[in-house]
Structures are given as structure tokens and as C-alpha cells.
């Protein structure tokens, strides 16, 4: 049987997970693809660093060049993370014509087009299944499984840390700070947690998914992002009373009513924000660290992918899948069969968030006095934003009480401007809280009164 040598850069959590998975299922993989993948060298930060699975010392080096530049290494994994050294490692390997497998969403997000071009120029390829949603084969699904579909919408719970925190807040009726602190103590959230809870990890992943779904590269600068710091227990409770759960979603939607992009490519929404989704929807049932992605294709309809989005074993599973593809591509000389990224023509555009239309949940803290509701409703009315329902929940007494509005569809910019005006009313005692509502239905929300 043909043997291909693998050079691994990164032997930490994910790297040692890949090593272990290859030990465990290497024979199975070989039987399935007809090629044996053999680890030749592993570059690590420090030989003695703790790792979840052991790697024989004889394979270890602290010099990544020794791995990448070894003429007997045929395939390279980059599992170090970050965007500086990782970029050099990937470029060096690609320039040597070696296929690279990476799990590095931040690197792709920052330098994807450059690395794809490098792969093309050197007749090799870059594989990145592990970069989005760990063990869920969502990259392969978008590139291959749905190759015959227009992607109408994609909604992803793509950050396990945020989903874990929101799940625990709802389940234990606990506030954000308490749950975050506990999650950090238990190792479910990083310290500092900003990359996850401010939505940037989800932004990187959503950009990759949007680019694959629509065939033009979507850089992070074009992706509206809001994290989960603003989600309070009170909002989870009011949302639940109205039949909704709050989830951090990566959202990619075709906006067929918007002006098309350059060359009449698709106009799309790409964003990350905490959204209210119907509690009865299957995505609302995705609990804890699990990820899930709903892909709506124009031919296939709704499909759902669910699984562990992070962790050494789930991520290793995705790396093994890429290793199999890379090995087969090498063997059959088909390295460009599925290029890392296919720029489709004509190009598309990301619609600025302020033009995107959605429903909203708004929570105000107001003085409990006759006439207050009328003054606030007048601002929405002047902004031509329809009110679907208003609740002043009972049981809240005192000078300041909550007032909840469910708003019909309206452009984001109009909602933000109306809320800025409302915030300035003397009867409003705290900054308005607003979350968008995503009904997740097949036909999308429709409200003949929107803007009326």
C-alpha cells in the first residue's frame, strides 16, 4: 500500500488529538482510501509541554522548518493557531507544493485569499474542514453536498462557549457574569474570553461559510458582529414568556429584494448577533457546547448539521477527513479538483446592516406613569416602524418598570435611530435593549404593515 508522510506543526490539544486519532483509526483510514498516512515529525512549542495525548519524543522537534522543509514530508498540518507564524508556516509549505491542512479560522479570515492564491500558484491545495464547527462536516457539505443548490439562508450556532453560557443562564436562571466566571473556572471558556463572547470567533467562521455559500470572499470587516455580553437573564425570561430562546447566531441570507452586487451577483446579509428564535424550533434545542448549522438550499430545502464544534477529538475527526482528501488528491494528481475556494462570477455584495430588515424585541426601563407608552409608541410610529405587541409584565413595581415591544420588520438603521430618540426621552431610565428576531421559517417573515 502507498505510504504518505505527514509533517505536523502543532502538537497541543488539537495536534495531539490528530496524532491519537491516527493511531486509533489509521488502519481503518488506510483500508478506506488505499493510502497509509504515517506521521514523520511533529513540531511543538516545547518538547515537555503537557498534551492530552502523548506523542513519542523521537518524533518531536521545536523547529517547524525541520518538519515543513523535510523532503520526505508529503502533507503538512498547521495546528498552531494565530495569524503570524501560522501564516509563514502555511505559505512555506504551499510554496514547496505541499498540501496543507489547517484548523485556523482566524488565519483564513485574515489571509484566506492570499493563501488560496498561493496554493493555486504552486499546484497544491489548502484544506480547512476543521476551521468551522469542529467535527461537523459543514465545509464539505457546502462545497460538495450542496454544489447544486443556491444557498438561500444559513443559520449557525457556531460558538460553543457562547452557546454553553446562554444555555446555563436559561437553565439555571443565572446572570451572565456568574455563568461566565464558572465556565472559565471549569475550562469551558477561555481567559480572556473576548474572542468568543464578543462574537469574533463566530465572525471568522461565518465569513468562511458565507464565502463558500456565495462564491465571493467575505472579509470580517464586512460582517456585522455583536456578542453576548448584552444578554441579561431578564431578556431570556421575557423572551421565554413570548415563546423564544436567545442564541448567538452566525447568519448568511440571500436578500433577493436588495440591489444585486457588481455584475449582478447575489446581495447577502452576513452577520453575527444574539437573536430570538422560536423555542419550538430544533435550533433552540441545541444545548451546551454543541454547534449546529441550518442550511436552506433552493433545491434541498432545510437541512441541519449538529455536533461538537470544538475539542481535540471532534476537531481531529475533521482533520482526518481533510487528510484523506489531500492524500487522495496527491495520489490521483487531482489537487485542483476542488480548489480551496472558487471565486464565482459575477461577484456579489454584503448589504450594510443598517439596510437589513428584521423583526425586533425591545426592552425599555421606563418610569411607570400614564402617557409613557404613548410617547414611545409615537416615536416608533414616526419612524414608520410597526408594533406587533407590547407587554408591561406584571410583578415589577417601583419607579422604573420594564416595557417590552415586539416590532414588525423594519430596516436596522430605522430601528437604531428610533431607539436613540427613545433613549433620550426623560421617562426612559436605561439604554434600550434590542435583539433581532429570526423566525427561521421557510418563507421568511412577512408583514404587510412593515414600514406602514
The set of catalytic residues is 205
**Closest by CA position to 74, among listed 104, 96, 57, 91:** 96
Asked if residues 12 and 18 have their Cβ atoms less than 8 Å apart, the reply is no
Stretch that binds ligand HSE, among 24-32, 76-84, 109-117, 155-163 (CB under 6 A): 155-163
Asked if residues 248 and 202 have their Cβ atoms less than 8 Å apart, the reply is yes
Q: Should residue 161 be labelled a site residue for ligand HSE when binding is judged by CB under 6 A?
A: yes
CB-nearer residue toward ligand HSE: 11 or 309? 309
| Sheet (strand 100-102) strand order | 60-61, 35-43, 2-9, 75-78, 100-102, 126-127
Q: Convert residues 297-326 into a mask of x (bound to ligand HSE by CB under 6 A) and - (unbound).
A: ------------xx----------------
* Site residues (CB under 6 A) for ligand HSE, limited to 326-345: none
Q: Should residue 199 be labelled a site residue for ligand HSE when binding is judged by CB under 6 A?
A: no
* Site residues (CB under 6 A) for ligand HSE, limited to 10-39: none
Residue positions counted in the chain: 452
- Minimum Å gap between C-beta 19 and ligand HSE is 19
CB-nearer residue toward ligand HSE: 164 or 435? 164
Q: How far apart are CA 311 and CA 168, in angstroms?
A: 19
Q: How far apart are CA 43 and CA 79, in angstroms?
A: 10
Q: How far apart are CA 56 and CA 11, in angstroms?
A: 11
Q: Should residue 118 be labelled a site residue for ligand HSE when binding is judged by CB under 6 A?
A: no
CB-nearer residue toward ligand HSE: 15 or 160? 160
Asked if residues 78 and 43 have their Cβ atoms less than 8 Å apart, the reply is no
Q: How far apart are CA 52 and CA 326, in angstroms?
A: 26
CB-nearer residue toward ligand HSE: 283 or 372? 283
Cα distances (Å, whole numbers) of residue 333 to 31, 91, 144, 330, 369: 20, 21, 19, 5, 75
Among 196, 198, 329, 438, contact with ligand HSE (rule: CB under 6 A): 196
- Residue 119 is classified by DSSP as H
Q: How far apart are CA 164 and CA 202, in angstroms?
A: 14
Stretch that binds ligand HSE, among 138-146, 159-167, 177-185, 337-345 (CB under 6 A): 159-167
- Minimum Å gap between C-beta 189 and ligand HSE is 8
Stretch that binds ligand HSE, among 154-162, 220-228, 299-307, 333-341 (CB under 6 A): 154-162
Q: Count of residues binding ligand HSE (CB under 6 A)? A: 7
Q: Should residue 160 be labelled a site residue for ligand HSE when binding is judged by CB under 6 A?
A: yes
Q: Side-chain half-sphere of 177: how many Cα atoms within 13 Å?
A: 0
The residues that touch ligand HSE, with contacts defined as CB under 6 A, are 159-161, 196, 201, 309-310
Amino acid at each position: 500500500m502507498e505510504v504518505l508522510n505527514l509533517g505536523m506543526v502543532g502538537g497541543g490539544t488539537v495536534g495531539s488529538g490528530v496524532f491519537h486519532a491516527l493511531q486509533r483509526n489509521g488502519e481503518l483510514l488506510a483500508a478506506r482510501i488505499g493510502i497509509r498516512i504515517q506521521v514523520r515529525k511533529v513540531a511543538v512549542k516545547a518538547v515537555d509541554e503537557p498534551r492530552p495525548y502523548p506523542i513519542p519524543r523521537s518524533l518531536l522537534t521545536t523547529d517547524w522548518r525541520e518538519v515543513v522543509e523535510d523532503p520526505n514530508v508529503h502533507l503538512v498540518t498547521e495546528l498552531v493557531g494565530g495569524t503570524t507564524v501560522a501564516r509563514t508556516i502555511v505559505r512555506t509549505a504551499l510554496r514547496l507544493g505541499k498540501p496543507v491542512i489547517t484548523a485556523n479560522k482566524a488565519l483564513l479570515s485574515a489571509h484566506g485569499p492570499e493563501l488560496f492564491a498561493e496554493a493555486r500558484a504552486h499546484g497544491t491545495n489548502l484544506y480547512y474542514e476543521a476551521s468551522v464547527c469542529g467535527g461537523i462536516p459543514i465545509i464539505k457539505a457546502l462545497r460538495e453536498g450542496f454544489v447544486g443548490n443556491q444557498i438561500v439562508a444559513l443559520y449557525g450556532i457556531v460558538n460553543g462557549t457562547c452557546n454553553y453560557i446562554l444555555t446555563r443562564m436559561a437553565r439555571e436562571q443565572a446572570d451572565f457574569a456568574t455563568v461566565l466566571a464558572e465556565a472559565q473556572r471549569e475550562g469551558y471558556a477561555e481567559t480572556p474570553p473576548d474572542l468568543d463572547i464578543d462574537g469574533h470567533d463566530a465572525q471568522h467562521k461565518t465569513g468562511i461559510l458565507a464565502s463558500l455559500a456565495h462564491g465571493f470572499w467575505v472579509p470580517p470587516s464586512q460582517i456585522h458582529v455583536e456578542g453576548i455580553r448584552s444578554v441579561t437573564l431578564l431578556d431570556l425570561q421575557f423572551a421565554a414568556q413570548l415563546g423564544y430562546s436567545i442564541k448567538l447566531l452566525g447568519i448568511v441570507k440571500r436578500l433577493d429584494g436588495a440591489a444585486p452586487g457588481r455584475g449582478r451577483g447575489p446581495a447577502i446579509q452576513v452577520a453575527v448577533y444574539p437573536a430570538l428564535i422560536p423555542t419550538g424550533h430544533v435550533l433552540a434545542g441545541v444545548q451546551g457546547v454543541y454547534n449546529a448549522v441550518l442550511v436552506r438550499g433552493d433545491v434541498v430545502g432545510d437541512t441541519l448539521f449538529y455536533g461538537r464544534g470544538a475539542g481535540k477529538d471532534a476537531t481531529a475527526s475533521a482533520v482526518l477527513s481533510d487528510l484523506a482528501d489531500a492524500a487522495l488528491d496527491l495520489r490521483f494528481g487531482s489537487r485542483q479538483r476542488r480548489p480551496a475556494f472558487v471565486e464565482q462570477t459575477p461577484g456579489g455584495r454584503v448589504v450594510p446592516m443598517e439596510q437589513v430588515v428584521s423583526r425586533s424585541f425591545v426592552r425599555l426601563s421606563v418610569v411607570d406613569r400614564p402617557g409613557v407608552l404613548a410617547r414611545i409608541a409615537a416615536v416608533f410610529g414616526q419612524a414608520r416602524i410597526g408594533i406587533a405587541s407590547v407587554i408591561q409584565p406584571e410583578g415589577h413595581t417601583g419607579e422604573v418598570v420594564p416595557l417590552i415591544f415586539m416590532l414588525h420588520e423594519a430596516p436596522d438603521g430605522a430601528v437604531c435611530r428610533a431607539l436613540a430618540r427613545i433613549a433620550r426621552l426623560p421617562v426612559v431610565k436605561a439604554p434600550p435593549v434590542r435583539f433581532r428576531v429570526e423566525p427561521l421559517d421557510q418563507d421568511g417573515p412577512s408583514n404587510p404593515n412593515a414600514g406602514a
